[in-house]
Amino acid sequence: SSLPTARPPSSSSTTSPPRSRIWTPLFFLLNFLSVIPSLIGFIYSAHRFYTAPPLLFASSTWEQSGHAVGITQSRSTRLDWLVSGMWALACAYFTHSLARGLLRRWLVYYSLGPTIIRVVSLQAICWPLTLTTHRVLSFDQPVAAWFVCATTAAISNVIQSWVTSNIVQRKDRRGQQRWRFVSSAITAVLGPGIRTDKYRKGERVLSWKRVLWGTVMPFAVLGWATTNALLWQQFVARYKGGGGIDLGRPRLNAVVNAPSSASGSGVTGLNPNADIRVVVLVTSSWTNRSLTNRHTFRETSVRLFPPSSSSISIVYRFLLGTAPSPQTAARGGPGIEAEADEFGDILVIPAQDSYADLSKKVHEGWKWAAGLDVDYVLKTDDDILLRMDVVAKELVQLGRRKEYWRGFAYWDIPAIKDASNKNADFRYELPSFPPYTAGALHILSKDLVELVAPPSAPRLFTMNEDQSLGLWLYPSGVRPIHDHRIQQAQVCENDMIAKHFGSQYKEPTGYGAHEMYGNIVSGRKPCEGLLQRWCGVCYPSCRRRDNHWRDWGFSCDELKGATLSNRPSASALALNAAPVKIPPQPFVIGSADDPWVIPGILSHHMSPFSHSDDWHLLHMLCWTTGPETFGERHYQALETIWAHEPRAILVMMSTTLPGDFFQEYEKQGYAVHVVRVGREELLAREWYLGPQSERWLQDWDRWTKGPSL
């Protein structure tokens, strides 16, 4: 045996402890996991900063939380998304610091395997918490959501700093790297490496200096920036816009305070006994230019209105939105009220009076007109000379019509994506708009106005009100009747019924709407003295003009209207070919071409009730879940129909209910029929909307294997 010695062993006989630096991508990936949600949030915020507000489920917003009420537009502004992006980056910084500190501690206390499990488990907790925070606070509150996430991460990071403060760096610096330049580059990209032998356990001490500079100062800077941003946004909401405030109902000359008549029209100057009753909506604004335009419109277009008679009665209203700012309301409000008292033709509707909200403003006008007892509703602008003398004669000859829509029609027109153009629309993402009519003049029958503006329905608003009108009317199957006599450019044709006198157009002679009105009432040609160098778009002849409208890049169809000549014809929608509602194919009900589904009640393509006075007896219902889900409240719903109309005929389209499911009702004499619907039945009866729906049904077997059938 030998005695122990106090001499240190020679370097040749010992192995130095491992001091390998871990630069492997593994630990970089583990650290990077912590910042992925925040980076996604930052990228999304940056995307929304440059794009239009998205559509959201209204149930996800604070004011409608928990209630499924359709979709709504995001109210978050570009400033909101800018601030939320800053807080998302702050959250990334705090979460990365938190994950890095805990990783350092776990590498000292545990081996590699348990450490990886803990890091992954941490992110498995943090990621769902981040998503839950955004869902609870709503996706339309990005600043609040990322502020909560960043605050939680910062507090957790302070706690982490104290918990890991006992992991201190060793004093020895043995094993210096030879490749310091390479090491510095790697450190700059990935951060300092983690060495399991570089740290030792010590006492826990919270470094207030680290808390101050690592947490408090970033929060102070971001908090100061956020406070200023929100104060500015509050200023904008108060003094430059409505800020989401409920603007109420139309005011000023909306209704007359006279005893109500049976017609219920409620409009000053409208003869309720006239054969044709017309209301003209004239968009205007709070600007001085519009004030001048309104006086001009009264002195020209209104004087061309035929006097109220038994044949036709016409009234008009200038549509103004709410003042764009309190300063504007303070300056212009008294003048607007005085103007309304003097002329009785001002209608202030609950929409912001700004160009960006023009579609909403006109929609509110449609809603107001939908409540009137009229036959036609016209919409024009205050800088238009409207030949109502001509239009009135045509409406009298036309008589009362349904599904009537006339104007200068456009079709297959793409949305403008040039941000420098005030009409640029980044909300509409389809390749082209449905057919629409130019905003200079819309002529709509009352039933279509009711379709456009039902009492309560979500609407997609595009940048331009005329294109919005086309979107809203497209599902009805009604197509506009093209009228080339309505022009928006600086052209003048003697047969025009709507001539635009915009501020951007200057007549060489200085003539304007007054001079054109003078020509009309004096029996001269309307365009005498006005610029006639240019040819009106879609006019059949451009003789003696300096141009042809084709030079402006238009192609015209007598029925469909104008489109862009450089657009490929294949892109046009096939349904645009019809100028009016598409008529049904002629079938002999009950024949081999149109066999009965329910004898005497329903065939493949129609019902004998559809074109009779008893059309209201037929009720079409649908049921797609199992028979066991048909509960008491569903039976009560059926019985409610019979309580109001015992003769009602109920046709239940179902994929699940057997044919005798309602036999107890049938025994009592009530008419209820179950019609089985499936792939074969729908295809055989041609119960689909078009070729796309037909192809969908043909792929039924593929859809049944998916999760969303």
Q: Do residues 544 and 623 share a domain?
A: no
pLDDT tens digits, 284-340: 999 999 999 999 999 999 999 999 999 999 999 999 988 887 677 778 888 888 898
Residues 405 and 543 occupy one common structural domain: yes
Does any domain span residue 635? yes
The pLDDT value given to residue 486: 94
Q: Which residue has the higher pLDDT, 270 or 200?
A: 270
Q: Are 96 and 198 within one domain?
A: yes
CA-based Rg of the chain, rounded to a whole angstrom?
36
Query: Do 223 and 262 belong together in one domain?
Result: no
Give the residue carrying structure tokens 């009135």: 392
Q: Is residue 683 predicted with pLDDT exceeding 60?
A: yes
Q: How much is the pLDDT for 52? A: 56
Domain annotation covers residue 562: no
* Same domain (yes/no): 625, 542: no
The H-or-E segment that residue 168 falls in is strand 167-169
Token digits for 616? 């209201």
1 occurs within a structural domain: no
Residue 573 lies in a domain: no
Same domain, 231 and 272: no
User: Is the same domain home to 229 and 287?
Assistant: no
Q: Which residue has the higher pLDDT, 240 or 413?
A: 413
* Structural domain boundaries, residue 617: 596-677
**480, 575 Cβ separation under 8 angstroms:** no
Judgement on whether residues 417 and 495 belong to the same structural domain of the protein? yes
| Mean pLDDT (the chain, rounded) | 79
What are the tens digits of pLDDT across the range 350-402? 888 888 889 899 999 999 999 899 999 999 999 999 999 999 999 999 999 99
Residue 74 clears pLDDT 80, i.e. is over it: no
Compute how many other C-beta atoms are within 10 angstroms of the C-beta atom of residue 148. Answer: 19
For residue 11, the model assigns a pLDDT of: 41
Closest C-alpha among 53, 39, 50 to residue 93 = 39
Note the pLDDT of residue 214: 78
Number of domains in the chain: 3
CA 143 to each of CA 61, 64, 92, 196: distance values in angstroms, whole numbers, following the listed order: 14, 19, 15, 39
Asked if 483 contacts 408 with a C-beta cutoff of 8 angstroms, the reply is yes
pLDDT-based confidence at residue 1 (cuts at 50, 70, 90): very low
Residue 130: predicted pLDDT: 85
Whether residue 459 is found in the same domain as residue 486: yes
CATH code of the domain containing 453: 3.90.550.10
Domain shared by 621 and 534, yes or no = no
Contact 429, 417 (CB under 8 A): no
Do residues 107 and 250 make contact, with C-beta atoms less than 8 angstroms apart? no
531 falls within a domain: yes
How would DSSP label each residue in 564-587?
A: ETTS-GGGS-GGGG-SSPPPPPP-
Please tell me the predicted confidence (pLDDT) of residue 446. 94
Residue 223 pLDDT grade (very low, low, confident, very high; cuts 50, 70, 90): confident
Residue 572 domain flag: no
Q: Which two tokens stand for residue 365?
A: 């006008």
| Whether this model's pTM surpasses 0.75 | no
Residue 212 falls inside a structural domain:
yes
Does 93 fall in a domain?
yes
Same domain flag for 50 and 149:
yes
Whether residues 318 and 441 fall in one domain: yes
